[in-house]
Amino acid sequence: MSSDTILPIFDDLDEARATVLKRRSLNEVEVPAWIMDSLEKLFGERIMPAEAVTRIIRSVREQGDAALYDWNRRIDGADLDDLAVPEAEIDAALDQIPADVADALRLAARRIEAFHRKQPVTGWIDAGAEGSLGQLVRPMDSVGVYVAGGTAPLPSSLLMSVIPAQVAGVEQIVLVTPPGRGTGQVPPVILAAAAVCGLRKVIRVGGAQAIAALAYGTETVPRVAKIVGPGNLFVTLAKQQVFGDVGIDGLPGPTETMVIADGSADPGLAAADLLAQAEHDVVASALLVTPSRALAEAVSAEVARRMEDLSRAEIIAQSMRSRSGAMIVRDLPQAFEVANEYAAEHLCLLVDDPWRWIGAVRNAGGIFLGEGSFEVLGDYVAGPSHVMPTGGTARFASPLNVLDFVKITSLIGLDPAAVSELSRAAAVLARAEALTAHAAAAEARIGRG
């Protein structure tokens, strides 16, 4: 590995697989000392994050709103009179942000809705000679959407999570988001995005306590059927612990982009895309895979040059040095082997004729075709939800979509003749499983057609 540049270059794929390409489970996350110190201060003893989350969830289940007010004070320094944001404050938010931001939110919302309305989500009933079989598709009754606070407000995540649920027909959508540290105020741009979606229930609470409230309900927060939306380590651990009592969209980890580029790629644009990813978080991954070492060196140089002018340069530098890198491969087919093995959240194809390579992609949250269809457009206004599978879960998971917010119910309505005939086979299989009550129930229907 060449580590004398801001973006490390790996000539040895095995070394890359052992470092920046290595996947780690949630249980293997290395907890920074500052988090352990803060937990010790909060709980009076040095406990691991998972234990802290267990205690927070228990307190919310037992004490309801009182626990939420307490955690808001202790964690966010927010002493609130009411957890719910007044509807008048939501309505007024669009007038408190710049007009061009409001226009961009509306544009994004229209495109996200239009994209998801094209998704086929249909029930069916096959009425044949034996009766009817089919499936009913029904929206979930209620959904909780978590929108993170942290170092930057993310109204785009609100739109990307709420609108697919609305298209699915979910009637009750509850938004939870952390109160502003020390102020208790939700950023106006978040409330403006809520107004664009027509959301009326915005709750000022974050972290594990917000997940617990959505999972079990409090005096202010209704219990929901499913919780969606990425958050920090404590949010993810809380979703893991409440799963089964409530549905979840997944256990998202740090965001990631993999760029496959050939010698035709513009080093400046490749660098811009990697920098955009790295500024999310110090644990974000920005990865370049290319058969051209000359391109890798040019991209690395562009990263170093452009980074100095960016507002989050310190975050970018940490991400680049610890979680990012450029991998040199033999050719493009090998690049796609690496990509399928890694199963990136975002896979960007900066290659000549990117459409030619779609068939080579088996595992990816989203494919971005060419230098013009760059990942940042997907973050905001392209249309598909930017809530995509991370941590290698693109091997089995999908971006957030309408299907995440519906349930399928099987429909069985056979006529008596079919019931009589099929009951014979059902009884045979039941006795093969030593389930004699099952067999008896089937045999009672034989000859009744």
Phi-psi label, residue 342: left if phi above 0, alpha if psi -120 to 50, beta otherwise:
alpha
Please name the residue ranges forming H helices in 324-383: 332-342, 375-380
Measured between alpha carbons, how far is residue 335 from residues 93, 105, 292, 332 in Å? 46, 36, 11, 5
Which 3 state secondary structure label does DSSP give 131?
A: strand
- Would you say 8 and 20 are in contact if contact means Cβ atoms under 8 Å apart? yes
Tokens of 111: 């495109």
Token pair 């955690």: residue: 71
Chain mean position to CA 75: 24
Give the CA angle between residues 204, 398, 327 to the nearest 5°: 105
Q: Nearest CA to 85 among 219, 190, 229, 208?
A: 190
Nearest-10 crossing angle of helices 207-216, 233-242:
20
d(CA 183, CA 80): 9
Kindly report the length of the chain: 449
- Which residues make Cβ contacts (< 8 Å) with residue 377, sequence separation at least 6? 368
Token pair 């093995």: residue: 341
d(CA 126, CA 137): 15
d(CA 298, CA 292): 10
Q: Nearest CA to 191 among 230, 159, 228?
A: 159
Please name the residue ranges forming H helices in 222-346: 233-242, 267-278, 293-307, 313-323, 332-342
Would you please indicate which residues are annotated as catalytic (active-site) residues?
A: 345-346
d(CA 240, CA 237): 5
User: What is the DSSP code (8-state) at residue 357?
Assistant: G
Which 3 state secondary structure label does DSSP give 59?
A: helix
Q: Using CB atoms within 10 A of its CB, is residue 301 exposed (0-12), middle (13-18) or buried (19+)?
A: middle
